[in-house]
Amino acid sequence: MYNNVMLTLEQTEQAINEIVESLPEEIFVDLNGGVLLREDVKLHSQSRTEDLYILGEYYRDRIFGRYIVIYYGSLVKVFRHLNSARFRGELERVLKHELTHHLETRAGEHDLERQDERELLHYLARHRPEDAAH
């Protein structure tokens, strides 16, 4: 089904649906807003050289509930060099990462949040302003 060309927006939406359907229903308890795919490119607020993209986010909102957003435009920026099968693999990795945030939040755990924070600190350390001057 997947060829050597990256997935289109529509194919990515279909792939997300296939991934969701392949996972146990218990994972989606309390994820009342589901998984949304947006066309947007989203840069991280702390991106230093316009190279730190947000691929997906887990939201807990008093009004809209709990949901996941996957940013197709960001995926394209980061993985445009991949064929469709590898792009789908990265999409699945991102989706499962966000689902892990959901499961950990429900369980009162924050291990993945702390790991994300450590990775951001490593990124910021590699992009210190004094390094740009040299």
Residues with Cβ < 8 Å from 125, sequence gap 6 or more? none
115: domain range? 9-133
Residue corresponding to tokens 């792939």: 15
Which CATH number characterizes residue 124's domain? 3.30.2010.20
Residue corresponding to tokens 């924070």: 117
CA dihedral 48, 41, 54, 70 (to 10 degrees): 180
pLDDT on residue 86: 95
Is 3 domain-assigned? Answer: no
Q: Kindly state the average pLDDT of the residues 46-53.
A: 88
Residue 112, pLDDT above cutoff 70: yes
pLDDT over 70 percentage in the chain: 93
Digit-coded pLDDT (tens) for 5-49: 689 999 999 999 999 999 999 999 999 999 999 999 999 988 888
Q: If you ran DSSP here, which 8-state letter would residue 58 be given?
A: E
Measure the CA–CA gap between 93 and 74, rounded to whole angstroms.
14
Q: Kindly state the average pLDDT of the residues 51-75.
A: 95
